[in-house]
Amino acid sequence: MIELQVNGVRHELSADPRVTLLDALRDRLGLAGTKKGCDQGQCGACTVHVDGQRVLSCLMLACQAAGHEVTTVEGLAGPDGSLHPVQAAFIACDGFQCGYCTPGQIMSAVACIREGNAGSDADIREFMSGNLCRCGAYPNIVAAVREAAGHARL
Ligand code: FES
Ligand code: FES
């Protein structure tokens, strides 16, 4: 039995110890906002937060997340449903095309700003470089992170 705390809700899973956090979130908990791109740590589509730090959920076992607070893109909005400032900035800046990489980009961007690594466009590009976008929406993604970095509620 694996006990996971995700977006403030406690879950008990009967899962093989080899199940990744990504598969547990998507297939067991129905949280499909976290995307599977490469499944081998190269694209960033599966980025979530564990105790506020960004991690690649395809490279973490679900059992390793037991006892820690996991946050997915579904957990970013406020209790009243208001969008997180980074989510709002991605919409305002048109920071996506197909949207497949977007949840991972957003989770990474929230952490990047919290880490203090969004002070310049060069920093944003460097510290978001683990999140690939096959649509090439990078200029607008950088603009969205830059805009959100000036916002208070992060
Ligand atoms: S799916 Fe995890 S890094 Fe690509
Ligand atoms: S918006 Fe399509 S992969 Fe990034």
Domains of the chain plus CATH, in order, are 2-75 (3.10.20.30), 85-149 (1.10.150.120)
Distance 45 CA to ligand 1 centre (A): 5
Average pLDDT over the chain, rounded to an integer: 96
152 HSE (CA, 13 A, CB side): 0
Distance 80 CA to ligand 1 centre (A): 30
Model pLDDT, residue 152: 52
Would you say residue 1 has pLDDT above 60?
yes
* Ligand 2 contact, 66 CB (< 6 A): no
Separation between Cα atoms, residue 43 and residue 59, nearest integer Å: 12
Model pLDDT, residue 150: 86
Would you say residue 84 has pLDDT above 70?
yes
| Ligand 1, atom nearest to 58 Cα | 2
Distance 46 CA to ligand 1 centre (A): 5
What is the number of other CB atoms lying within 10 angstroms of the CB of residue 140? 18
Model pLDDT, residue 81: 92
For 31-64, how does the pLDDT look when each residue is reduced to its tens digit (9 = 90+)?
999 999 999 999 999 999 999 999 999 999 999 9
How close are the terminal C-alpha atoms of the chain, in Å? 33
Least confident of 71-75, 110-114, 147-151: 147-151
Would you say residue 153 has pLDDT above 80?
no
List beta partners, residue 4: 11
Model pLDDT, residue 15: 87
- Alpha carbon 22 to its chain centroid, in Å, reads 11
